[in-house]
Amino acid sequence: MQIGENARVVLEKRYLTRDIDGKPTESVEGLFRRVASALAEPDKRYDHNADVAAVEEEFYELMTSLRFLPNSPTLMNAGKELGLLSACFVLPVEDSMDSIFDTIKNAALIHKSGGGTGFSFSRLRPKGSVVRTTGGVASGPISFMKVFNAATEAVKQGGTRRGANMGILRVDHPDILEFIDCKSEGGDLTNFNISVALTERFMQAAASGENYDLIDPHSGKVAGQLNAAEVFKKIVDAAWRNGEPGIIFLDRLNRDNIVPSKGEIESTNPCGEQPLLPYESCNLGSINLTAVVKKGNGGSVIDYDLLGRIVDTAVHLLDNVIDANLYPLPKIEETTLSTRKVGLGVMGFADMLLMLGIPYNSEEGVRTAEEVMGFINARGHEMSRKLAEKRGTFPLFEKSTLASGTRYRNGTVTTIAPTGTLSIIAGVSSGVEPVFAYAYIRNVMDDTELVETNPILRRELERRGLYTEELMRRIIAEGTLAHIEELPEDLKRVFVSAHDVSPEWHIRMQAAFQRHTDNAVSKTVNFPNSATREDVERAYILAWKLGCKGVTIYRDGSRDSQVLNIGRVNRVKNAESYGSGAEAPAVIRPRPRAASLSGVTEQLHIGCGKLYVTVNYDEHGICEVFTNTGKHGGCPSQSEAVGRLASIALRSGISVEEVIKQLKGIRCPSTIRQKGLGVLSCPDAIAKVLERTEKVIREGGRSAGLAPQAAETPESVTFETAKMRFCPECGSQIVHEGGCITCHQCGYSKCG
């Protein structure tokens, strides 16, 4: 099996079966054999004479050739006792204490098995409502979201994947303004993506500047009015500031609800691509589009015969996943089997365009998206029809919106999901996103730096006699090929990166895939840091007009600046604060944080575990400190607070010596009875790393590159979740793709 080093590391770290000591007990090939065997077995249910061995071989070849991969829980759990194979779940949140905590329990069962959950909190009565049964006052949806978040945080420590949630609130809920801002200061909802559910009526009111009604979900009565245009601008402003909330167009989700008699679709999975009914789940998988590019007479072309065969086998495999699945709740099993939804998608689309010589941000690129996804969608439905002939339709078919037409095995067939980890295994670009970076530095043993280059770009540069490692280092520094003068214009036109693609082209590409997808498309619209709120607003309106079902945006660096803005002193003070006629003192403002910094991370032992301290510096000196605790580490909120305050002080002109003086020597009770720790507390540890780093800089380390003390080799570079510019597990730069945060180096994903 031909896979890259990155892929092998990710598979060994996250997917292979391990023994009680954590050692792998299967090979990479063994993993795919285990999955293929488990997924071939359901064929016996429909044909006692089925050649299960041949089906297993077909599935095994499909996966090991990297032409198709099912979603991560299937790779992790198929053929094992746990047996949960679906990635996406939606659970209802009813307006009662019993229901709320039943849902938290059910979500915990899903999270411990590796699934992600979506919730609509729109049924919960608004904050301040009277609760008749107790005479008390309701605390509102956001307060309960924090309880869900805390439960997820506790469960994910022992799971195979991180629990991830989607939290959705209707735009006509009375608490909508609080919801829009609920993640603006970070911290309380770190395990949630959030989206506002917009109705067509709201969008029309926003376009005309009219007011719209807020509806109390408990009574069903009008609870007030807001100006739609002002609320829309507030959503835009929050997204511009830190990327959240996203938006979903609720009426469009329900327009494509195949069984409206079973209820409304209220929510999606954590990345937004899979709308589901309450208690419904869906299993996803992605076709590697680079595998269907072949050489033709006039250059590279798409092999539609091969693509068709891949689609057929993939739909067969995904339908079998439904039967092989061990569901966490009987209600989820019942609901899932009643519609038998599957979500076949793609990865490597941007790489495929490169191989075809087509720019992503072009009419030809959009047309190719329509043609490829149109073919996959049509062929996928045809395969579902063939399966229905042999196996029967999904049980609710006669009650569905499809009943008067072709008989299908599956309620839905296609979904465009993010493929962060799967695309690493396959060695291709993620989902339908443009290439994020064409080259990066990999650190290996003995502090050796290797330049990693997109293989398609490398082959093209070598063909033209242009490849050098120095050129690739320039591309890394620039982040794009666009400004490298010696590169030919035709090459730069094709090899565009995510930030070379304007938001309009991001949206147009998403809309092209949406037109041929049953469910929805997970994609991130990347904006440069200089983008304005008006730019974001235009993108949202374009997505609405072009028929998208939702939008996630990210403005480069916005979450960095948001974190560092916490605690910022206002420029204008109320004069009364200083006495009548008194002039307010001059306000010291921290200097802006550079987009790229150098630094070092050290691992230290504290009284209650491990502490990782990262110190970064720019041309002016040390300017940033943050911390991360190990699995058993002590007081993360307090050490984070110390790091934030130290960072603001350092960037406001306070000397590093003064910061060290204030922190050094502080003692924590957990260190008193432990010998040989070397530090007295988390603040003392921070002070010592600051002291060592400053010494190295003074001695010329800034030009040579900092190196940590030999006695304390860092196990990993760790960054706080709110910043999310670098991976908290391996220290590589993370990317915002597919509605989520992903590390292309080690496979870390914020969304599970």
Of 271, 682, 746, 751, catalytic: 271
pLDDT band at 192; cut points 50, 70, 90:
very high
Q: What is the pLDDT of residue 477?
A: 86
Is residue 626 scored above 80 in pLDDT? Answer: yes
- At position 301, the amino acid (one-letter code) is V
- pLDDT at residue 732 is higher than 90: no
pLDDT at 544: 98
- Asked whether residue 575 carries a pLDDT value surpassing 50, the answer given is no
The four Cα atoms 586, 589, 591, 593 give a dihedral, to 10 degrees, of: 180
State the helix-helix crossing angle for 636-651 and 558-565, rounded to 10 degrees.
Answer: 90
pLDDT at 41 over 70: yes
Q: How far apart are CA 291 and CA 426, in angstroms?
A: 10
* Chain centroid offset of residue 731 CA: 17
Q: What is the pLDDT of residues 221-272, one digit of tens each?
A: 999 999 999 999 999 999 999 999 999 999 999 999 999 999 999 999 999 9
- Residue 700, pLDDT score: 64
Q: Which of 269, 288, 361, 519 is catalytic?
A: 269
* Phi (first) and psi of residue 212, to 5 degrees: -140, 160
CA dihedral over 515, 519, 524, 527, signed as positive or negative:
positive
Neighbours of 742 (CB within 10 A): 28
> Is the distance from CB of 425 to CB of 64 less than 8 angstroms?
no
Q: What is the largest CA-CA distance in the chain?
A: 94
Q: What is the mean pLDDT of residues 634-659?
A: 84
3-state DSSP call for residue 214?
Answer: strand
Q: Tell me the domains of the chain and their CATH numbers.
A: 88-267 (3.20.70.20), 439-496 (no CATH), 598-724 (no CATH)
Q: Which residues face 347 on adjacent strands?
A: 288
Supply the pLDDT for residue 444. 54
Mean pLDDT confidence for 531-541: 97
pTM: 0.80
Confidence of residue 581 (pLDDT cuts 50, 70, 90): very low
Instruction: Inform me whether the pLDDT recorded for 375 exceeds 80.
Output: yes
CA distance 460 to 357: 10
Tokens describing residue 722 = 């709110």
Mean pLDDT taken over the chain: 87
537 is catalytic: no
What number is the average pLDDT over the span 603-616?
82
In 10 A of CB 585, how many CB atoms? 8
Q: What is the pLDDT of residues 446-472, one digit of tens each?
A: 556 667 889 999 999 999 999 998 999
- The residue-averaged pLDDT of 501-515 equals 97
Across 649-739, the runs of DSSP E, i.e. the strands, are 735-737
Q: Is the pLDDT of residue 719 over 60?
A: no
Helix-helix angle 304-324:52-64, to 10 degrees: 120
Rounded distance, CA 163 to CA 107, Å? 9
Q: What are the residues facing 342 on neighbouring strands? A: 283
Q: What whole-number percentage of the chain has pLDDT above 90? A: 63
Long-range contacts of 223-226 (CB under 8 A, 24+ apart): 223/126, 223/174, 224/174, 226/176, 226/177
Instruction: Judge contact between 373 and 516, C-beta under 8 A.
Output: yes
Is residue 269 part of the annotated active site? The answer reads yes
Point out the catalytic residue in the list 273, 460, 537, 694: 273
- pLDDT tens track for 684-711: 889 989 988 888 887 665 433 443 333 3
Does 751 score more than 80 pLDDT? no
Question: What residues pair up with 733 in beta bridges, in sequence order?
Answer: 726
Q: What is the pLDDT of residue 729?
A: 66
Instruction: Indicate the length of the chain as a whole number.
Output: 752
pLDDT at position 133, please? Answer: 77
- pLDDT at res. 582: 36
Q: Looking at residues 11-33, what average pLDDT do you find?
A: 92
Q: Identity (one letter) of the amino acid at 181?
A: D
> How many CA atoms within 13 Å lie on the side-chain side of 86?
33
**Token pair 């979903």: residue:** 248
120: three-class secondary structure by DSSP: strand
Q: What is the pLDDT of residue 162?
A: 65
